[in-house]
Amino acid sequence: MESLESQLGKELANLDVSESDQKYIRYYLDLIKQKDTPTSEHSMRLAILGPKVARCLGPTMDQRAMLFTGGLHDIGKIEIEDDVLKKTKGFSAEDMEKMVAHPIISYLILEKVDLCSAEMALRHHHNQEDGYPSTEVINRLSKLTNGEKAKIEYHSLIFSRLDVYDAATNRKNDKYDGKVLTPEEVRPILIEQNPEVANEVNTLYDAGVLGSKKIIVPGIEIMVPGKKDQGVSIATTINEKA
């Protein structure tokens, strides 16, 4: 299976991201890797998935912003102490105060490269069950004009679906009885939380951008798109295992 680093490198080149922006993103991805491997892998996966999702949903989507946001939306966690970061339950009020700050720190880091991405990072938990930071805090920090607001709010909704999708399908979560969910189990959760983008979620599943299953047989890995009427015979990629 191709490494996350290699897939990200191809996407950065594909989107013509400047050398200096690539350095900036990689610098912070390295920092989060040293701090917390699961968050680093989650961020890399979302940096790779974000542009694919944008391409699938059409030309109004900003592929670069989806990549930057995916990579650095959780970068604010570098400021959270390890014992709080590793917790999955039993957060005290003080712990929560630290957790709630991470989208704000991510915003401050990302606004130096891309304002759209920064605003998406600021809002990435707002559309989730956690609902932070508050609308008041977002409005106080936001530098968006009214014209830009609708675009960013839509992108933020889509991105928050990807954030929940990736976390739920890759990490055990107390919200789901300590289980890692399958892509199909996450689909109704994504729609229930934000029904205004139900069509987009279904489009992504039907196209196999979300929900592809990895089947491992000795020596090879086969990615099978999630659409129900597509079978193993149309596997999109077959990769020699390194």
Q: Which residues bind Fe ion (CB under 5 A)?
A: 74, 163
In contact, 138 and 123? CB cutoff 8 Å: yes
Q: How far is the CB of 235 from Fe ion (least distance, A)?
A: 29
CB 209 within 8 A of CB 161: no
Report the nearest approach of Fe ion to the CB of residue 124 (Å): 6
Closest CB to Fe ion among 61 and 122?
122
Q: How far is the CB of 117 from Fe ion (least distance, A)?
A: 13
Neighbours of 24 (CB within 10 A): 20
Return the SS3 of 8: helix
How far is residue 69 CA from its own chain's centroid? 7
- Whole-angstrom CA distances from 221 to 58, 95, 123, 164, 240 are 29, 40, 35, 25, 7
| Closer CB to Fe ion, 126 or 187, in the complex | 126
Q: Which is nearer to Fe ion, 128 or 202 (CB)?
A: 128
Residue 128: DSSP 8-state:
S
How many CB atoms are located within 10 Å of the residue 225 CB? 19
The least CB distance from residue 160 to Fe ion, in Å, is 9
Which lies closer to Fe ion via its Cβ, residue 69 or residue 224? 69
Return the number of the residue (74 or 200) whose C-beta is nearest Fe ion. 74
Identity at 174, one-letter amino acid code: D
* Least separation in angstroms between CB 144 and Fe ion: 20
